Amino acid sequence: MSALVSPRRALMRGALTVATAAATLLVTALPEAASAHGSAADPPARAYDCLQRWSNNHQAPEMASQDPMCYQAWKADPSAMWNWNGLYREGVKGDHRAAIPDGQLCSAGRTQTGRYAALDAVGQWKATPKGRNFSVNIFDQAKHGADYVRVYITRQGFDPTKQQLGWGDLELVSQIGSTPAAKWQPADNGLSLSIDVDAGTRTGRHIVYTIWQASHMDQSYYFCSDVDFRAAA
């Protein structure tokens, strides 16, 4: 299982930054983040990944050249990163395709009044190197557990740096059924769950798309994680 970077520490760093760097918008976003939900932590979902890299320096001008996709996301709505654990929809009833249009998969259909819309932007998102066999690790800050988790990967030939993601671009590669919180592993201020994945013969840049159906209510989480399959493993 891959090492899990502590989301709790990310929130602490973010809170300190907000306290000193001002931005009324960020301050108003913190209470929802503190209420706690979860995210894909490895490979990291886009909002979580941007928070990990830039929470202490999110106003740095060099982000524009070093990490342009995170830059446009921070500029569009900083609360998307502070609320990295709130990318969900309620009442979907399992009909994910009907709830989320093509081109809006990474924002969960512009959920939360469009807060995460910038995550749908096409471009050079930083990609996590992975081998053919890897694990998707979900961090559950609220200890919801899962009715199921489904992991998809884009088809070979899809170019996430140039193409908008649609349901037809994805292939289901792994899934697990009901997994109550008691079966998850303890993590820093929460729980973690690891889902084994075989990427097959895929190479190069891809998007790993994870749907986590929480157990406490009809609450569905959606995560776009950017990866680069550089070597078989």
Q: What is the pLDDT of residues 179-233, one digit of tens each?
A: 999 999 998 888 999 999 999 999 999 999 999 999 888 999 999 999 999 854 4
Q: Report the pLDDT averaged over residues 5-12.
A: 49
Torsion of CA 135, 53, 8, 107, to 10 degrees: -70
In the chain, what's the furthest Cα-to-Cα distance?
48
> Taking the model in full, what pTM does it have?
0.85
* Residue whose tokens read 């999110």: 58
Domains of the chain: 7-231 (2.70.50.50)
Each residue's pLDDT tens digit, 88-144: 999 999 999 999 999 999 999 999 999 999 999 999 999 999 999 999 999 998 888
Single-letter amino acid, residue 19: A
Give the whole-angstrom CA distance, residue 41 versus residue 4: 7
* Per-residue CA distances from 86 to 10, 90, 99, 201, 223 (Å): 15, 11, 17, 33, 11
Cβ count within 10 A of residue 217: 8
